[in-house]
Amino acid sequence: MPIFLKFLLKNFKSIKKEVRTINKKIVLLGLIISSLALNATNYRTVREAVKTNAATKSTNNQNTKNNTVNEVIIPKGLKPGDTIGLIAPANYTNENSNAEVEYLTSRGFNVVYGQSFYSRWYGFGGTDSVRAKDINDMFANPNINAIFAVRGGYGGIRIVDKLNYDIIKKNPKIISGFSDNTTLLLAINEKTGLVTFHGPMADNLKNIPPVTENAFNKAFTSNESYNLLGFDDTYTIMKSGRGSGKITGGNLSLVVATLGTDHEINTDGKILFLEETNEASYRVDRMLKQLKLAGKFDKLQGIILGDFKNPKQSDPTDMTIDEVFYDNFGKLNVPIVKNFKSGHVRPFIAVPIGAKAVMDTYKREIMIEKATK
């Protein structure tokens, strides 16, 4: 037998073992190479995703949880004989609430009362469920043509997540109020597209000033376009320019309170309306800075600054309210009007939230396309 064959036979087992070991090493090496390739692919995918996300953030700095864009829904206007439901969605009713009842009935409207109108629970017009149920029920009731709040205070944010936005969208009608009711008006407009109204309540309607009544008529009973600056000429043009978009906003404190929630205000391409009462100038500055840091001024088309009642300086070194405005808005390239008569003030000009508007300070106009139909 040849020496080579003898060697093979003698060492067969050890050679077989070595071959198996080599095969295992080859398989292991293949697995390692595959894993490295997969990791490289994943790395590229993650890197591209990070780049895309960064690009998205750079083009849209507004930190918003509310990206829904709804078609504008115009509610039907009021006429004598229509029925208005009265509610207390925040604090309970007081003696001033009767002024609203008297004015509306004097105009030939029928009024009905929600359970919240008569209820009390702590400082609220009834429990959260009572106040939310009033709104849901009145939207669902075809015999009620409009819903008016009779008081602000505090409480809207406790019921905003209890509203049935599907029912509201399917049964659009006027809903009006201001101050704390900003929370509800903004949420309804953002979630459904329904135009809501920053409108007068209670003693705003007592011995009603002509400016308030003229604005009431245009907002609630007319189906024509109108000039929001046409009711009173005591406003000031802070910055000239032109812009167009839907109007959004309301009470500054309540607008800021929406940030970080599912009902966060969306200001992109819109005209921002703000008003406030009894807030020191440094507190107004802080709230405006918070809106700015949240990206809410980045894509504005215009600003309407309503009445800022009693904006005292807590310290002599604090900015005045006008200095706060110029510091926060002075570098924005949008038209700005201030001292507009709307908010905690008489007279009171109703502002349709969500209505399309064209702002042109050169013509002294903020033309509302349509508030009601």
Catalytic residue ranges: 179, 275, 344
Question: What is the CB-side half-sphere exposure of residue 343 using CA atoms within 13 A?
Answer: 23
Paired tokens of 150: 């009779």
Q: Is residue 123 a contact partner of residue 91, using CB atoms and an 8 Å limit?
A: yes
Q: Is residue 366 a contact partner of residue 228, using CB atoms and an 8 Å limit?
A: yes
DSSP code per residue over 175-239: EEE-GGGHHHHHHHHHHH-B-EEE---GGGGTT--HHHHHHHHHHHH--S-EETTSS----EEEE
H-run or E-run covering 12? helix 12-59
Q: Render the burial of 213-233: b for 16+ CB within 10 Å, e for the rest.
A: bbbbebbbebeeebbbbebbe
Angle at 66 between CA 343 and CA 134, to 5 degrees: 60
Alpha-carbon dihedral angle through residues 275, 276, 280, 282, given to the nearest 10 degrees: -40
